[in-house]
Amino acid sequence: MFRKLVWFAVIYTFVVVVVGAYVRLADAGLGCPDWPGCYGELTPHHAQDDIARAVAEQGGTHGPVSLGKAWKEMFHRYIAGGLGLVILAITVTAWLRRRELQQSPLLATGVLALVLLQAALGMWTVTLLLKPVIVTLHLLGGLALLALLTLLALRQQALPAIAPAITSRLRPWAVLALLVVIAQIALGGWVSTNYAALACVDFPTCHNEWLPQMDFRHGFQLVRELGMTAAGTHLSYDAITAIHWTHRVGALVTLLYVGGFALWLMRSPGLFRHGFALLCVLLAQVSLGIANVLGGLPLPVAAGHNAGAAILLVVMVVINFALHSKRTP
């Protein structure tokens, strides 16, 4: 039962992450500008009058506030709250059944602590008006939660043995591949939270150049408002271009290194399926990224790109767990 509950939490977390990405991409992050309710109400239905006034003030539903966007934002909050209850149940069970499970409950406790931090980041995302560093941390926190729950779920499984000679050789490269994926996800989050996905609308060049004019100093300032520099001036297009271009370079590095690592796994006894899965997810993720640029960021493709990042992270966690588990052939 504990194993089933943890795997349910993994799938549930994946849904919450994808829905959160959809809410952000649909420009619904401020659909309800307060927290945890919506204009002080439990549902957007009860806040219809306040929403109507806000829509009138912004001059129509093209802005961040509308009834539909409010429902999207609140739906994400509802399911995130449900996930918190599931993780609370996992943590309590891990402590009460720690002797039967024969494992420390500290990982489950850490997951619960991360959920509480995620709730705070979710609140600050709204109250601080989508400040890029907060939104990016919220995204990374959700993916970290998914990764830790996957690790907890894998601890409940009996996995086939892999020869120690193979695992010892692959371990450091697997860790590096995981770090490369995490770094690229962080860059992707920075692109998304700064609305830089369409800073370059051609591919593989950017503004028909391999090295366009860019402003890295302002583009990668962490403490600033959305669309502004730390000094309070408007963020230049060169800064947005720098963010986008860096993510592209990161994608190339990820494709070459992680792709090469996947091919290595496919040639290693007992790890063909791991390598094949990694290569398929990686190629799909790169394809979705290119499709976002060439297609003008269609919402389903953009949400799929976020889902692909989550799946890629899970695959890398599975691979690292397989290589680091203490088993004999």
The vertex-172 CA angle with 169 and 277, nearest 5°, equals 85
Report cis status (omega within 30 of 0) of the bond before 329: no
- The ranges of the chain with pLDDT < 70 are 326-329
- Among 128, 157, 186, the domain boundary falls at 157
Of these residues, 57, 73, 100, 225, which one is catalytic? 73
**Are 27 and 53 members of one domain?**
yes
Do residues 229 and 148 share a domain?
no
Asked if residue 82 and residue 198 are part of one domain, the reply reads no
Same domain, 219 and 329: yes
Computed over every residue of the chain, the mean pLDDT equals 95
pLDDT for 329 equals 38
What pLDDT sits at residue 289? 98
CA angle 37, 41, 46 (to 5 degrees): 135
What's the CA gap between 66 and 69, in Å, rounded?
5
pTM score of the predicted model? 0.95
Q: Which of 306, 186, 285, 204 is nearest to 245 (CA)?
A: 204
Question: pLDDT at position 294, please?
Answer: 97
Domain that includes residue 189, residue range: 160-329
Is residue 100 annotated as part of the catalytic site, yes or no? no
* Packing angle, helices 299-324 and 132-154, rounded to 10: 40
Contacts of 220 (CB under 8 A, 6+ apart): 190, 242, 243, 246
Q: Which of 157, 188, 213 lies at the terminal end of a domain, its last residue?
A: 157
The reply to whether 90 and 2 lie within a common domain is yes
Q: 150 with 187, same domain?
A: no
Give the total number of structural domains in the chain.
2
Q: Are residues 153 and 179 in the same domain?
A: no
Which stretches of 26-131 are DSSP H helices? Answer: 48-58, 67-96, 98-101, 106-127
Same domain? 235 vs 213: yes
SS3 297: coil
* Domain's final residue, options 125, 157, 189: 157
Residue 243 DSSP SS3: helix
**Same structural domain for residues 136 and 244?**
no
- Give the residue carrying structure tokens 């290595």: 264
Residue 161: predicted pLDDT: 76
Regarding whether 252 and 140 lie in a shared domain, the answer is no
What gap in Å lies between CA 304 and CA 21, rounded to an integer?
9
Domain shared by 167 and 218, yes or no: yes
Dump pLDDT digits (tens) for 24-54.
999 999 999 999 999 999 999 999 999 999 9
